[in-house]
Chains A and B, each alone.
Chain A
């Protein structure tokens, strides 16, 4: 099997897995879900690191890579932190308030 053929299989399975998982997420948490998946898609930092750190990187690709690492890191850091900040607010009962 070609490498790209294999990659397509991986994509297909992951997409269906995603559908099944997301369908089960309570609508209550749709906003934190969106910021979590956004943080996860900051995985593009992997590609950005490979471009920026390559030994043969030209000035152009190093600059583009640098901006990409920066943008992905902002997403990664703020995405996880704000998701956690939101989730901390979801409480079942306020203790001692009733």
Chain B
């Protein structure tokens, strides 16, 4: 009886995961997707607990309780600005789980052939993703230095280490009885994960997080091969392809290749490249900015990571409200790599109650800048740098940008004239129709809101 039900539970679980991802295609159905995903997970867990091999329950239930006790507060207390860190740490947990299962399986069965191959792949991906995700977490949380750390021969060391780990992995597949090789394999995989992230800087985080997402999924899929469990294979493959696609989208949005992101150590090279004398810029006060915004018909706001750092999204929403009431059309232009993970800006603005139909993708909004009266850049830099289009020698040449420079007037909220992540000067700041608004993003937007209120009363 149960022999017939259990495979059916797994099959249903796999179908629910597929539906869950399918329903993520629109905000209208997405919550339904989460619900069906939860249902699938419950079916899978019940289906596993009922299997005849599972005889001892106490440790499983203690882990369930403890895990929920940690997971629930983690989900509800985590501020939305910390979502990139949370995502990184959850990749670490997922990868750790599958690496440890692989380890336990190796010591229990010492399997041969194809299964050992799957186990080695599972553990390699699992262990390296574990430490890499911890490193990414450290960088995002700013426990570790966020700037890329590079040294001579770095790529050589990294590739050499990976080659060594892979070679020992292959040796283990050929003769699994050589148990002394196993700890070396584990240590090398862990070490490779650390070294992989050291040269990665903040602006590359969206790609790297997506890639780690993919590795964690592939590791789970490899576990499916080792345990001959098709539910694991399907769920892992879905996760793996999801992370992979997101990583490709991020790379395309920066006009860079995977290898360039992982081994390029962007941003370190040009730190001293542009030491030109200070060029004149025009700056404006909150009053002036408010007047310009108030007389505009169409405003496009371009948020970047600086907005998240300054926590300016709520003040920005107030500005959006005031301007909307005054009949100004305000929209937000979202660059795919704005922020520290895919979709980061959307979540922050949605949290601040900006309606999501006002959040517009790059390809859709770029044609609209010519008709916009004001482009307001807040905490973004490289994604609006015209050098990407005009200067063939620029490090960001060819990167798709938001064409803010086409707007009638441009306003840039910025702390100082220091260059952005890529360390390149931004031509946009020196244009005739550009006004620099110097100050903290949150305070400055708050002053604009105040001035707009005064204008409304006048």
- Residues in A with CB closer than 8 Å to B351 are 86, 89
Given A41-B220, A72-B93: A50 and B67 within 8 A (CB)?
no
Instruction: Please tell me if the beta carbons of B342 and A90 are within 8 angstroms of each other in the complex.
Output: no
> Cα distance A24–B75 when bound, in Å?
26
B164 adjacent to chain A (CB < 8 Å)? no
User: Which of A17, A80, A98 is close to B41, meaning CB atoms less than 8 Å apart?
Assistant: A80
How far in angstroms is the closest Cβ of chain A from B170?
Answer: 18
Q: Which of B30, B220, B244 contacts A44 (CB 8 A)?
A: B220
Report the minimal beta-carbon distance from A59 to chain B, rounded to whole angstroms: 11
> How far in angstroms is the closest Cβ of chain A from B158?
25
Given contacts A11-B233, A81-B72, A92-B355, contact A71 B27 (CB under 8 A): no
Q: Is the CB of A73 within 8 A of B67?
A: yes
Nearest chain B CB to A11's CB is how many angstroms away? Answer: 5
B140 at the interface (CB under 8 A from A): no
Chain B contributes a number of interface residues (CB within 8 A of A) equal to 114
CA of A29 to CA of B249 in the docked complex: distance in angstroms? 14
Q: Does B22 contact A (CB under 8 A)?
A: yes
Cβ of A27 under 8 Å from chain B: yes
CB under 8 Å from chain B, chain A span 26-74:
26-58, 60-62, 64-74
CB proximity to A under 8 Å, residues B326-346 = 334, 336, 341-344, 346
**Cβ contact of A41, chosen from B70, B209, B216, B225, cutoff 8 A:** B216
A44 contacts B101, C-beta separation under 8 Å: yes
Contact B350 A80 (CB under 8 A): no
Q: Does B217 contact A (CB under 8 A)?
A: yes
Residues of A within 8 A of B (CB): 3-4, 7-8, 10-11, 14-19, 21-58, 60-62, 64-94, 97-98
Q: A19-B241, A31-B83 are known contacts; what are 19 more A-B pairs with Cβ within 8 Å?
A: A4-B114, A11-B233, A14-B238, A26-B25, A40-B41, A42-B94, A43-B232, A51-B104, A53-B53, A53-B57, A53-B59, A65-B59, A65-B100, A65-B104, A69-B60, A71-B96, A73-B71, A76-B71, A90-B350
